[in-house]
Amino acid sequence: MLGQVIMRRHPGGFTLIELMVTIAVLCILVTMAFPNLSDYLDKQRLISQMRAISNLAQLARSEAIKQSSSAASGLKTVSFTVGPSAPWYVGIANGSAACSGATCFINEAGNNVSHTVSATECTGCTMTSPAAQAVITFDLRGLATGNTDQSITLQSPMGRQLSLNIGRLGRISLCSPGGAVGGYPTC
């Protein structure tokens, strides 16, 4: 009997105290991470919306160039309309006239296709533009009509801003006023 080793069986699982300590540590970590998460989501929502608006401006410019090569269309311009008042919207349409949410469409192969970005996709975001309703028209060469560059600014609920700039030569760029959004040049 002296040479025998007595094997004790260890019960598996957690004790109640171990479980409570683990939950307390997780709660502390989540509490510390939550402000950073909401900050990150705010920034990503703003970036996503401005990229959608920038893509819409690029589409308006390319549609103007494409339609100029189609003799059958008879259309020579595409308008990019910005309605900054609440609820804001951005849309594109054939011709140089402004459009509203329901009338913002491009005629593609005989079908009217709606192209808009609206406030419903960025809850709490506000938009500013040079006018109550800015209409930027691209001609058959892809140039923006008018004598000045145009700028549209979108602000997130946490105060971050991104601006879309459309130059007279049709160049479309994004920048961050004050440099609040990393990855974009300061305006």
Q: What are the structural domain ranges in the chain?
A: 39-179
The pLDDT score that the predictor gives to residue 76 is: 60
Backbone torsions φ then ψ of 21, nearest 5 degrees: -65, -40
What's the N-to-C CA distance of the chain in angstroms? Answer: 86
pTM for this predicted structure = 0.75
Mean pLDDT over residues 169-174, rounded? 91
74 burial via Cβ count (<10 Å: 0-12, 13-18, 19+): exposed
Q: Which CATH number fits domain 39-179: 3.40.800.10, 3.55.40.10, 3.40.50.150, 2.30.40.10?
A: 3.55.40.10
In terms of pLDDT, which residue wins out, 3 or 14?
A: 14
Mean pLDDT over residues 162-178, rounded? 91
Is the pLDDT at 91 greater than 70? The verdict is: yes
Q: List the helix and strand counts (H, then E) for the chain.
A: 1, 10
- What is the tens place of the pLDDT at every residue in 29-59? 888 877 778 888 889 999 999 999 899 889 8
The pLDDT score that the predictor gives to residue 10 is: 64
